[in-house]
Structures are given as structure tokens and as C-alpha cells.
């Protein structure tokens, strides 16, 4: 395979003659040539593009694409023919003569209306042979060097175009910026006349760049020598090359091919001035774009086809060469991203997560933000609820306390009476002792008995006061274990005098064993007192024997049941629930808060309060209080 270029090179002149001769004969009689297209025969719009080099040269492929895409849009009925002169592989007078004869014959019947010449060899060929070939067809040139155009000046009025501007300086500056440690620039060009023309330009450009870097030209060497020198380079150098068509030994390349070989061997990053070199291992360059050039040429050709004078065409200002970077190579050669300027076109860059999934990321961020907002909202709400709960608890506490004061107020009369009894007894005992002492008739034993009576009565009075004070105490809510039996017996003690005053009976039936629940002992006592007072209210108008109220505590499934039963009229079935609502009362002096407060207190103990009517008569109120967490029913013997 590698011998092929040598063989081709050796045989190039005879082959060229043979090939051209055969083509003249074969194609001159045929209207159908490679590259022809469209129905331009009918419209007369016929564009011939002469490319300097091979059909497969990437620059030609790009320019051809640009010409066709543009012209098809502007002049859909135009015919496009393309010829590839295959310089510099085939050169020489014979080749040119044969080529020109071939083209003359081929296009004799259907001469092109406009000719586009792409590249300096095609330009030179046409300028030399135009009068034999297509003397009437205006010419649009692309990709010919400025030096060549200058040398050919003045150009005829019907020859227009923009010279190719290879941005040597821009590319070298880009390379030196990307590789701050590099001070040496190695310029590689080839051995063909075409390559030599490039070399001349680069030498001129390098001379104008002054002291920025030292320049070394590897011009017209053998491929082997070039590769050896490139391999010896380090990061202190950068390489500039447009590629080359031929090396010293006459080996032919497409420039991209040559660049590919060089980038593989080089110990320094390689930069080039053509976009077609991207992907061949170059890091980047200030690059010209052959596709755009093709499009501009097609625009000019189209204007001429519809009657514009070539001389009147002012070629559009050529977009300056574009700084480009192959991201894969930039990473390989560790180009710091911050040194890549914003106007550089970065190719093959894998999009970052953000770039690739911007929409999804935005959506997800939105969802997260919303979620965060929702969570914060919920947290704020929870905090607010807590504050409200605390406030409610405080209010409840105040309310319960106020209610207890009201109860105490209600009981004042009977309690005063209850205290009066022991106080009266104390007084009588004291008077009796006094008399006995005065008469001198008392024995020690009698005196002791009197003193014991006084002490007992005193204790009775202080017990009443103690219980009342306990009820009235404005202390914080408690949450401690207490025996429900004790709570109902305390309630009964507080109520004893009131029960007597009302000529009622209060029967307390505690459970045989302690019924320990958790909560506030005073609050449960308050609930029971409330229920008993209501029961006595309900039976107040009945004969005294029916004014009995029975308070019973029992262990039931899951907790303790305290029932308060009376023999009154009971609660109308429709009101069984309603009587627990605030301000529901059927009493003329009632407020309707007693049962509502009782329910709140019981529920704050995780319990339940309800009422049912007795089987025969009266109402039975039930208060259920659960066992403390962790204490099972079995432990209670239920």
C-alpha cells in the first residue's frame, strides 16, 4: 500500500497523457460528465467549477458543498459542472495542453456561462488558457493567494474574487497564547510548487512577527525527517502547518493526510490554518472556511447569471478567519480553559451536565425549590401550630382554673359551714376545759381527752381547707401517675358539705385495687366534682331519697372507667352529644361551660367522656382514662 504514491509519482507524466487523451476521446462525445447536474441546458445557466486539486481533497469537498448548496437555492435551474485538475500530482506542459484540449472539447457544445476557479493552480491554469477555452465566461476566483492575485494584476474586468487569506499570524498567536511555555514555532511546509508558495508567505509573515518567538522552517523535507524532528520537540515549541501536498521525495499527500501523520508523531501541539484540518489531530488555529468561500462564489456566479456586470460585483467582505479549537486535542495538550477566548469556536466539546441537561436540571431545581419552599412552609406552619397549641394549653389551663374557682365559689357556703362545725366544737371544748380548770374538778385524763378532741377537730378543718386549696392552686399542669380511686375520694371530700346542704347522698365506689393512670390529679378531680354537681342539679327538684349520686371507678379494657350516675330525668337522646358543646345549657343560671371544659380536660389525658341514660332513669356520665403507655391490661388484672 505504501508503495502506491511512489509508483503513481514515477508514472505521473505518461499516465497523465494517457489519461487525458483517453478522457478527451471518451468524454468529448458525451454530455454526461462527473459533477454535472441540473437542467441548465434548457435555461442556459451553466456554472463550471475548476478545482486545483483532487476531488477528495477536504477543502474541495467543502467548497463544492458550499457552491452547490448556495446556487441550488438561488438558481434552481442552473447546471453545475465540476472539474478537478489534480494538481500538484499531475503537472507539466503536456498535461496542461491535454487537459485544456479535453476541457475545450468537452464544453464546446455547452460552454459555461460562469467559471469558478478554486485554488491558485486552477486560477493560473484558467488565466493562461482562458482564451482557448471559455473566452466569454466571466471568472470568479476563490482560494487563490493574495500574492498570486497581486502578481496577475491588473486582472481583466470580468475576473472577480477574494484572495485566500491564510491567517498565519493569528494561528501562531493563538498557539502561543494556549501554550504559555512555548517560545519556539516550527513551521512545516512541503516540496511542491504549491507548498513552496505557502512557505514563501509564511516566511514573510514570520519575519513580521518580530521577537515573539523563534521560528524554525521544516520546508520541503522528506516525511521521515519532518517526523523525526517533530518527535524530538517538547512543550517549549508549537508547530504550525497547513499540511503539504508533496515531500522532498515526491511522495504525494492530501494536506489533511500529511497533518494526520505529523500530529501523531509530534512532541509539541500542532496548529493549522484550515478548518478542514480539524479532526486530523491539530489543536486549533485561526481557520479559513472553504464552505463559506464556496457560498460566496456561488452568490457572485448567480448574480452574473442573471445579468450583473462582473466588474460591478463588490465581493462581500470576507469573514475573518475564525479561531477554532478541537476540545479533545486541547485537553490532550492541557490547554488551560481560561486561556481559551470567548470568540473561539470550540469543537467536539462534550457538553457539561448543565449544558446537556439544562432543561431537566432547571425543572429539577424548580421542583427542589418548590419542595424546599413547601417544607419551609410546613415547618413554619408546624411552628405556628405549636405556638397555638401552647397558647391553647395555657388558655385551657386558665379556663380550667377559672372553672375550679367558680366551683369553689359555688361550694363556699357549704364549705364555710363544714369548717364551722369543727371550729364550733373546738370552741365548746375549749370553754369546757376552761370551766373544768376553774372549778378544779377536772382530772388529767379528762383534760387530755378534751385536747385530743380539739386536735381532731382542728385537723378536720385544716383537711377541708387543704383540699380546697389544692383545688384552687394555680399550678402548672401535671403529668404524673396518680390513683383514680384517690381522685374520686378527694372529690367526694370536697363535695361532702355541699351534698349535705343539698340533702343528697353521694355514694363513692372505688375499685378494689389502685387504678394508676398518668396525668393531672386535680383536673380529674375537677371533672368528677363537675359531674356530681350537675347530677345534683338534675335531681334537685326530686324528693331527697332520689337525690343519690353514685360515683364508681372500675378497671376496664385499656384503662379506667369513672361513672357518675344519678336518678334524674336523664338527657334527651338528641342532646347526648350536644351537651358537651360550649355554652350549651338548660339551666336558668347556667353558663354551659362545665361539660365542655370536662371534655377538654379528659381529652388532654387521651381519654374520652360521654353520657348515656340509665336503664330505668337518670343519666350516667362515663370518663374513660387510658393506662399509661407501656402498662398492659394484664398488669391490671382486667
Q: Residue 586, interface with ligand ADP (CB under 6 A)?
A: yes
Length of the chain: 638
Q: Residue 609, interface with ligand ADP (CB under 6 A)?
A: no
Report whether 272 contacts 287 (CB < 8 A).
yes
Q: Closest CB to ligand ADP among 558 and 592?
A: 592
What is the total count of residues that contact ligand ADP (CB under 6 A)? 19
Cell of 46: 451553466
Report whether 141 contacts 294 (CB < 8 A).
no
- Give me the DSSP letters along 125-179: HHHHHHHHH-TTS-EEEES-BHHHHHHHPSPPTTEEE--B---HHHHHHHHHHH-
List binders of ligand ADP among 65-124 (CB under 6 A).
none
Give the Cα-Cα-Cα angle 109, 110, 112 (nearest 5 degrees): 140
Q: Closest CB to ligand ADP among 120 and 539?
A: 539
User: Which has the closest alpha carbon to 191: 9, 360, 11?
Assistant: 9
Q: Would you give the end-to-end CA distance of the chain in angstroms? A: 102
Q: Closest CB to ligand ADP among 428 and 563?
A: 563
Contact window for ligand ADP (CB under 6 A) among 4-12, 384-392, 466-474, 564-572: 564-572
Q: Residue 550, interface with ligand ADP (CB under 6 A)?
A: no
Among residues 72, 222, 585, 638, the one that binds ligand ADP under rule CB under 6 A = 585
Exposure string for 41-63, b = 16+ CB within 10 A, e = fewer: eeeebbbbbbbbbbeebbbbbbb
Exposure string for 248-264, b = 16+ CB within 10 A, e = fewer: eebbbbbbbbbbbbbbe
The minimum distance between CB 564 and ligand ADP, in angstroms, equals: 8
Q: Residue 571, interface with ligand ADP (CB under 6 A)?
A: yes
Interface map 500-539 toward ligand ADP (x if CB under 6 A): ----------------------------------xx--x-
The minimum distance between CB 573 and ligand ADP, in angstroms, equals: 12
Residues 6+ apart with CB under 8 A from 592: 581, 582, 583, 584, 585
Q: Closest CB to ligand ADP among 512 and 543?
A: 543
Identify the helix (H) or strand (E) that includes residue 187: strand 184-189
Contact window for ligand ADP (CB under 6 A) among 241-249, 263-271, 367-375, 578-586: 578-586
Among residues 50, 529, 566, 605, the one that binds ligand ADP under rule CB under 6 A = 566
Q: Residue 595, interface with ligand ADP (CB under 6 A)?
A: yes
Q: Residue 584, interface with ligand ADP (CB under 6 A)?
A: yes
Contact window for ligand ADP (CB under 6 A) among 151-159, 409-417, 470-478, 593-601: 593-601
Q: Residue 591, interface with ligand ADP (CB under 6 A)?
A: yes
Which residue is listed with cell 384503662? 559
Contact window for ligand ADP (CB under 6 A) among 150-158, 422-430, 500-508, 579-587: 579-587
Q: Closest CB to ligand ADP among 426 and 571?
A: 571
Residues found near ligand ADP in the complex (CB under 6 A):
534-535, 538, 566, 568, 571, 579, 584-587, 590-596, 619
Amino acid at each position: 500500500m505504501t508503495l502506491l504514491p511512489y509508483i503513481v509519482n514515477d508514472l505521473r507524466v505518461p499516465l497523465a497523457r494517457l489519461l487525458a487523451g483517453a478522457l478527451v476521446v471518451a468524454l468529448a462525445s458525451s454530455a454526461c460528465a462527473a459533477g454535472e447536474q441540473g437542467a441548465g441546458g434548457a435555461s442556459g445557466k451553466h456554472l463550471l467549477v475548476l478545482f486545483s486539486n483532487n476531488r477528495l481533497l477536504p477543502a474541495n469537498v467543502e467548497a463544492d458543498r458550499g457552491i452547490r448548496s448556495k446556487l441550488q437555492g438561488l438558481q434552481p435551474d442552473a447546471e453545475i459542472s465540476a472539474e478537478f485538475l489534480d494538481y500538484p500530482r499531475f503537472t507539466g506542459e503536456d498535461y496542461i495542453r491535454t487537459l485544456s484540449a479535453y476541457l475545450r472539447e468537452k464544453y464546446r457544445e455547452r460552454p459555461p456561462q460562469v467559471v469558478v476557479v478554486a485554488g491558485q493552480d486552477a486560477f493560473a491554469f484558467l488565466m493562461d488558457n482562458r482564451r482557448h477555452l471559455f473566452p466569454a465566461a466571466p471568472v470568479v476566483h476563490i482560494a487563490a493567494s493574495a500574492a498570486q492575485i497581486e502578481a496577475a494584476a491588473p486582472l481583466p474586468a470580468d475576473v472577480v474574487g477574494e484572495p485566500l487569506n491564510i491567517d498565519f499570524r493569528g494561528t501562531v498567536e493563538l498557539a502561543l497564547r494556549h501554550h504559555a511555555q512555548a517560545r519556539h514555532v516550527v513551521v512545516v511546509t512541503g516540496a511542491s510548487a504549491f507548498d513552496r508558495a505557502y512557505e514563501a508567505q509564511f516566511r514573510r509573515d514570520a519575519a513580521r512577527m518580530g521577537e515573539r518567538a523563534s521560528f524554525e522552517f521544516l520546508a520541503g523535507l522528506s516525511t521521515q525527517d519532518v517526523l523525526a524532528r517533530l518527535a524530538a520537540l517538547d512543550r517549549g515549541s508549537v508547530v504550525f502547518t497547513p499540511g503539504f501536498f508533496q515531500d522532498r521525495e515526491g511522495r504525494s499527500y492530501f494536506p489533511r493526510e500529511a497533518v494526520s501523520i505529523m500530529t501523531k508523531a509530534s512532541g509539541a501541539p500542532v496548529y493549522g490554518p484550515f478548518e478542514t484540518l480539524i479532526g486530523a489531530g491539530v489543536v486549533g488555529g485561526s481557520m479559513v472556511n472553504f464552505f463559506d468561500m464556496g457560498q460566496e462564489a456561488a452568490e457572485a456566479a448567480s448574480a452574473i447569471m442573471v445579468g450583473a456586470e462582473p466588474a460591478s460585483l463588490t465581493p462581500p467582505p470576507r469573514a475573518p478567519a475564525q479561531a477554532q479549537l478541537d476540545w479533545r486535542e486541547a485537553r490532550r495538550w492541557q490547554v488551560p480553559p481560561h486561556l481559551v477566548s470567548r470568540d473561539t469556536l470550540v469543537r467536539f466539546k462534550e457538553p457539561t451536565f448543565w449544558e446537556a441537561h439544562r432543561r431537566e436540571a432547571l425543572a429539577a431545581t424548580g421542583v427542589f425549590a418548590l419542595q424546599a419552599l413547601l417544607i419551609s412552609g410546613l415547618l413554619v406552619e408546624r411552628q405556628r401550630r405549636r405556638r397555638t397549641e401552647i397558647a391553647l394549653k395555657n388558655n385551657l389551663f386558665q379556663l380550667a382554673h377559672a372553672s375550679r374557682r367558680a366551683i369553689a365559689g359555688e361550694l363556699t357556703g357549704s364549705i364555710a359551714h363544714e369548717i364551722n362545725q369543727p371550729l364550733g366544737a373546738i370552741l365548746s371544748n375549749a370553754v369546757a376545759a376552761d370551766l373544768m380548770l376553774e372549778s378544779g374538778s377536772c382530772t388529767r385524763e379528762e383534760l387530755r381527752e378534751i385536747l385530743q378532741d380539739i386536735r381532731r377537730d382542728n385537723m378536720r378543718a385544716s383537711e377541708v381547707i387543704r383540699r380546697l386549696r389544692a383545688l384552687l392552686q394555680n399550678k402548672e399542669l401535671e403529668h404524673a401517675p396518680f390513683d383514680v380511686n384517690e381522685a374520686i375520694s378527694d372529690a367526694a371530700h370536697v363535695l361532702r358539705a355541699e351534698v349535705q346542704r343539698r340533702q343528697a347522698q353521694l355514694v363513692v365506689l372505688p375499685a378494689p385495687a389502685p387504678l394508676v393512670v398518668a396525668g393531672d390529679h386535680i383536673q380529674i378531680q375537677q371533672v368528677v366534682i363537675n359531674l356530681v354537681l350537675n347530677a345534683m342539679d338534675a335531681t334537685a327538684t326530686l324528693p331527697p331519697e332520689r337525690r343519690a349520686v353514685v360515683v364508681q371507678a372500675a378497671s376496664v379494657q385499656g384503662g379506667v372507667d369513672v361513672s357518675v350516675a344519678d336518678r334524674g330525668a336523664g338527657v334527651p337522646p338528641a342532646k347526648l352529644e350536644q351537651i358537651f358543646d360550649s355554652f350549651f345549657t338548660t339551666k336558668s343560671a347556667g353558663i354551659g361551660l362545665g361539660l365542655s371544659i370536662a371534655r377538654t380536660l379528659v381529652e388532654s389525658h387521651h381519654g374520652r367522656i360521654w353520657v348515656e341514660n340509665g336503664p330505668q332513669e337518670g343519666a350516667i356520665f362515663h370518663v374513660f382514662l387510658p393506662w399509661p403507655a407501656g402498662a398492659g391490661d394484664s398488669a391490671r388484672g382486667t
